[in-house]
Amino acid sequence: MTKLIRFLPLILVITLGVVLYRGLSLNPQDLPSALVGKKMPEFTLPTLKQNSEVVNQGNIVGDIALVNVWATWCPTCKYEHPYLVDIGKDPRLKLYGLNYKDDKLAAQKWLQVYEDPYVFSIFDKAGILGLDLGVYGAPETFVLDHHGIIRKRFAGAIDNKVWRREFEPLIALLMEEKKQGK
């Protein structure tokens, strides 16, 4: 019994090392989402530009869509924004913004200064839709197929490398599915 007690600290250190190694090898952008494979949550919220204009999940169904969660308080969103401007010009998809827990005037000014790549931006001041989507923070991007089903969740900034690796293959697949009427 005393021999086992001598080796107990070594066993604990090895176990801790294995757990830490496993944790460090995970990709922080691969966040699990219970919503992948399910419809976009129902919502009714104003757009960022017009308080009187209210949109819901039905406004983003019918095309392949990216819903990008962004905010002016997010420094990574500023890095990502020029890439979103280019993505917004892609005729294969529609890009929608979800302005998350932000100041409305600051967000409107942001889109004037840095260019507005979105079909429209949903203004989610209280973070209700973000909560329904399981948003951890900004930026996050959700890919929806033409039926409004969430097919991917990506946490972090999109740039050219990430776009080619994470999004291009899925967009091509969704285009093919839409073409085949699936």
88-99 tens-digit pLDDT:
999 999 999 999
* DSSP class of 39: B
Res. 15: pLDDT tops 90: no
pLDDT at 16 (0 to 100): 67
Cβ-based neighbour number of residue 177 at 10 Å: 15
What is the average pLDDT value for the chain, to the nearest integer?
89
The whole-number pLDDT of residue 182 equals 79
Dihedrals φ, ψ of 138, to 5°?
A: -110, 150
What confidence score (pLDDT) does residue 57 get? 95
Q: Per-residue pLDDT tens for 43-72? A: 999 999 987 899 999 999 999 999 999 999
Distance (Å, rounded) from C-alpha 92 to C-alpha 90?
6
